[in-house]
Amino acid sequence: MQTRRQLLTAAAVMAAPAILKGAKGYTWAEVEKILASGKVQGRLTKDDLPTPALLLNMDAFEANVKKMSSYVLSRGRGFRPHGKTHKCPNIAHHLVKNGAVGTCAAKLSEAEVFSANGLQNLLVTTAVVGKYKIERAMRLATRRPDTIFVVDNTQNLRDMNDAAAAGKIKLNLAVDLLVGNRTGIRSGDPAVALVEAMQSLSNVRFQGLQAYAGHASHVIGFEPRKKKSGELMGEAVETRRMLEKKGIACNWLSGGSTGTYNIDSEIDGVTELQPGSFMFMDVDYNRIGGSDGNAHYSDFANSLTVMATVVSKPTDSIAIVDAGLKAFSTDKPFPPETKDKMPVTYAYGGDEHGKLTLGQGAHPFQVGDKLEFIIPHCDPSVNLYDKIFCVRGDKVEATWAIAARGMSQ
């Protein structure tokens, strides 16, 4: 004989609809068609999206772009945001419409995607090394003669010049300075010598200096950050002065980041800012502290989230979501945070899962519930997704291809 509980469960199963319906009553086949058409506006809501999904809150994104652009431009600096953050031609075009002089690309293959999607004035911020890549760089420079490449090595400079001579073109080359702890030639005499070598070659044109002080950008606390960036960028400005003293015109010095935009754009001699993360923000940047003395860096809003679904509720205080190691980059020592600052802690639960521990007063998540997370580190997380869903409130406004996703060559 069946118990009352078994009878109730059987009745509930029988009462379930034959086809589960989404928020608007669509079937998946209908959602799929809408997504494939790209015409999502007015037709889909967040609830219709398959998870894990990368979402862009358009109100926050647009405000971030306006704020950064107007700040940098009002200081008389060029604004060339870094495309390594978004890898998305739609976003690059939006930035250009909002005052960007061009787009940075970390790698050649990223620049190729931007170029193929109609973007101009590209700056490839890492050196192009090796025969095949240099051939590709020549192809890009032939198509987009306004592209700037960087060098920090005499042999690489000669290789670039020889390839340009063979292709009968003139390349725009900047010298990448070691102001961080990564690539670049040492500021001062070594950099000046490289510029002089460049000037003796006939198929390259000296564009100026690049100085990206990456390890200043996340220094916690505005004053220590200002000190660090001031010291590092000061070396670049001094190199610029040394060149000018020798009669070598150097009217371009590009660098800066989301954490130092309001520091570097106040330094005399820095002519262009190349921040990236400001448009999205992430947990890492939220923690660096603002010029207002607040521990939370609130100059830019968190526009980027990953939406996940609760797929299991093993106990009252544990909920499992469908976003794990493959949904977030895991290079930071802290986990994703819930967008709504819930008393919930996230722990990676494997490739496909995340384990939420629900604290006192947390929403008692049930299987099927959705929630959004702020990402620990935006750039490598974006690189995990094919597309980004642009949302305003609950409505999905557009889907943008992250066309340079995976382009790390």
Ligand X SMILES: Cc1ncc(COP(=O)(O)O)c(C=O)c1O
Among residue numbers 69 through 108, which ones bind ligand X (CB under 6 A)? 82, 84-85
Task: Name the DSSP letter for residue 186.
Answer: P
Number of residues that bind ligand X (CB under 6 A): 15
CB of 275 to ligand X, least distance (A): 4
Complex with ligand X: residue 104 or 371, whichever CB lies closer: 104
Binding segment (CB under 6 A) for ligand X, from list 22-30, 141-149, 254-262, 368-376: 254-262
Complex with ligand X: residue 44 or 273, whichever CB lies closer: 273
Alpha carbon separation from 194 to 169, 184, 200 (Å, rounded): 20, 11, 10
Closest CA to 310 of 363, 359, 360: 363
Cβ-based neighbours of 163, under 8 Å, separated by 6 or more: 134, 135, 137, 138
Strand partners, 255: 211, 273
* Range 315-329 burial, b when 16+ CB lie within 10 A, else e: eeeebbbbbbeebbb
CB of 108 to ligand X, least distance (A): 14
Using CB under 6 A as the binding rule, whether residue 305 contacts ligand X is answered as: no
Complex with ligand X: residue 64 or 125, whichever CB lies closer: 125
Complex with ligand X: residue 127 or 250, whichever CB lies closer: 127
Using CB under 6 A as the binding rule, whether residue 277 contacts ligand X is answered as: yes
- Say if residues 144 and 122 touch (Cβ distance below 8 Å): yes
Between CA 286 and CA 375 the distance in angstroms is: 11
Using CB under 6 A as the binding rule, whether residue 265 contacts ligand X is answered as: no
Exactly one of 78, 83, 208, 276 binds ligand X (CB under 6 A); that residue is: 276
Which tokens in the block code for residue 151? 């060098």
Complex with ligand X: residue 106 or 403, whichever CB lies closer: 106
CB of 391 to ligand X, least distance (A): 22
Cβ-based neighbours of 165, under 8 Å, separated by 6 or more: 202, 203
Between CA 327 and CA 249 the distance in angstroms is: 47
CB of 278 to ligand X, least distance (A): 6
Complex with ligand X: residue 229 or 257, whichever CB lies closer: 257
Cβ-based neighbours of 183, under 8 Å, separated by 6 or more: 126, 127, 152, 176
Exactly one of 51, 90, 258, 309 binds ligand X (CB under 6 A); that residue is: 258
Complex with ligand X: residue 212 or 373, whichever CB lies closer: 212
- Say if residues 320 and 267 touch (Cβ distance below 8 Å): no
Amino acid in position 263: I
CB of 329 to ligand X, least distance (A): 13
Complex with ligand X: residue 281 or 390, whichever CB lies closer: 281
- Say if residues 236 and 174 touch (Cβ distance below 8 Å): no
CB of 141 to ligand X, least distance (A): 19
Between CA 104 and CA 125 the distance in angstroms is: 7
- Interface characters, 114-143, with ligand X (x: CB under 6 A): -----------x------------------
- Interface characters, 212-241, with ligand X (x: CB under 6 A): x-x--x------------------------
Between CA 54 and CA 329 the distance in angstroms is: 13
CB of 19 to ligand X, least distance (A): 44
The residues binding ligand X (CB under 6 A) are: 82, 84-85, 125, 212, 214, 217, 257-259, 274-278
